[in-house]
Amino acid sequence: MNSGLVLFVILAVLFRLLLLVISVRHERALKKDGAIEIGAKNSLWLMLAHIAFYAAAVVEGSIRGAQLDAVSGIGIILYVFGMAMLVVVLRLLGRFWTVKLLIASDHVLVTHPLFRWVRHPNYFLNILPELVGFALALHAYATLIVGLVIYAVPLAVRIRQEETAMRTRFVNY
């Protein structure tokens, strides 16, 4: 695999680890204040699917000897877009953003236009572009197809769980 792509993978993993630290910090504070976790088992499946997707893409990219080219460039642009959207969502949700599904006793409904335009921006503007971009950057086409199908299962469950939790918590959701 091209050294530029190796650097991309290292930076992507480090950025995701930084976000995990932020998520854990938020989770601890929320749980300390009485937040309730919903779908813990599914959160574990999502985490495992995310890790497996990254690992499979790196392995496939290594086997293919992926080079930095136009396809990689498009993938990196998509990935950066996804990460930028994650930062936006994180800033909008603030201390309520975690990789787990937590409902706090003082949870507030975020009514920013982004959440009206896109029902689940963290999933559709962050995770999907992130995964598609990561796979394209590494020319990991099998991972892209198979991995997205596998990832779609716990993601669909998460969205259903989140919808139910939000409708239960907020009358005007």
Output the average pLDDT for the chain. Answer: 95
Average pLDDT over residues 31-53: 96
CA pseudo-torsion sign 128, 130, 136, 142 = negative
Q: Residue 125 contacts by C-beta under 8 Å, 6 or more apart in sequence?
A: 81, 82, 85, 89, 118
Round to whole Å and give the CA distance between 98 and 110: 15
| The pLDDT of residue 62 | 97
Kindly provide the residue ranges of all beta strands, DSSP E only, lying in 15-172, ordered along the sequence: 36-38, 101-103
Does residue 78 have a pLDDT over 80?
A: yes
CA distance 111 to 25: 24
Which is higher by pLDDT, 90 or 111? 90
Contact indicator for 26, 96 with CB cutoff of 8 Å: yes
pTM of the model: 0.93
- Exposure string of 48-62, with b = 16+ CB inside 10 Å and e = fewer, is ebbeebbebbbebbe
Is the CATH code 1.10.150.120 the one for domain 3-169? no
* Local confidence band at 162 (pLDDT 50, 70, 90 cut-offs): very high
Is 35 in contact with 103 (CB distance < 8 Å)? yes
139 within 8 A of 61, measured Cβ to Cβ: yes
Please name which of 122, 111, 163, 134 lies closest in space to residue 19, comparing C-alpha atoms: 122
Flag whether pLDDT at 173 surpasses 90: no
Judge contact between 137 and 76, C-beta under 8 A. Answer: yes
**C-beta of residue 130 within 8 angstroms of C-beta of residue 63:** no
